Amino acid sequence: QSALTQPASVSGSPGQSITISCSGTSSDVGGYNFVSWYQQHPGKAPKLIIYDVSSRPSGVSDRFSGSKSGNTASLTISGLQTDDEADYYCNSYARGNTLLFGGGTKLTVL
Amino acid sequence: QVQLVQSGSYLKKPGASVRISCKTSGFNFTTYSMNWVRQAPGQGLEWMGWIYTRTGNPTYAQGFTGRFVFSSDTAVSTTYLEINNLEAADTAVYYCARSPSWRMLDSWGQGSLVTVSS
């Protein structure tokens, strides 16, 4: 299976909102509600910020939200803060009992 | 609290083997599966597979069969990744991550850097 498709980079100013897309197929993103998102700061381990498409783990800011339409999932970050500058990865369960990551998106807060 | 503590960094020669450990605490080890994720320098995350700790049954992703071996020891709540016949392309940070199901990887180790160089 191929990796999920994410934009290489997005940017926004403090206080603005941005959306990162994650495109797959009906065999992964479109076929299951098992999409998760991870935030990774440089030199650090990834951190789960969204699971089951739109659920947030305890302790994750409600500025992070997720959604899905067809074969594309999206992560929206509202009220951008400087600490949101990081790499973001989507992940989905895929047919055949496997997990797929997206290629990652670098968020720059201008 | 949930903790996943990985063994340190490794410098290995091509053809050698390496065994990375991921010691867990703060939860019932056998009620979770343990995943391995690779991140090559400057690259994205790549799911390598997981091990169902209750039975020790591993599942390997495409591209990670043959030289890669997952194992676990429930007595010490630890999972292991062994890579045999190392190649330069194996140079990467390797993360262990806990998953309660296919839904998420909810806790991660700090990563172990493996450098393969002659």
Q: How far is B4 from chain A (nearest CA, A)?
A: 11
Do A46 and B110 lie within an 8 Å CB cutoff? no
**Closest Cβ opposite residue B44 in set A32, A97, A101:** A101
Which residues numbered 96-115 in B keep a CB inside 8 Å of some CB on A? 97, 102-111
In angstroms, the CA A60 to CA A48 distance is 9
Check whether A1 has a pLDDT greater than 70.
Answer: no
In angstroms, the CA A89 to CA B88 distance is 25
Positive or negative, the CA dihedral A10, A76, A34, A39 is positive
CB count, 10 Å around CB of A107? 19
User: What percentage of chain A carries pLDDT values higher than 70?
Assistant: 99
Structure tokens at B31: 């009620």
A65-to-A68, A75, B93, B101 alpha-carbon distances in Å: 11, 6, 28, 21
Show residues of chain A in contact with B111, CB under 8 Å.
45
In angstroms, the CA A73 to CA B109 distance is 26
Do B45 and A46 lie within an 8 Å CB cutoff? yes
**Closest Cβ opposite residue B103 in set A38, A52, A97:** A52
Check whether A96 has a pLDDT greater than 90.
Answer: no
Q: How far is A78 from chain B (nearest CA, A)?
A: 23
Do B47 and A51 lie within an 8 Å CB cutoff? no
Give the tens place of pLDDT for each residue, B71-97. Answer: 999 999 999 999 999 999 999 999 999
Do A34 and B108 lie within an 8 Å CB cutoff? no
Give the tens place of pLDDT for each residue, B31-70. Answer: 999 999 999 999 999 999 999 999 999 999 999 999 999 9
* Whole-number pLDDT of residue B103: 83
Do A100 and B47 lie within an 8 Å CB cutoff? yes
DSSP labels for B21-60?
EEEEESS-GGGSEEEEEEE-TT--EEEEEEEETTTTEEEE
DSSP labels for A34-88?
-EEEEEE-TTS--EEEEBTTTB--TT--TTEEEEEETTEEEEEE-S--GGG-EEE
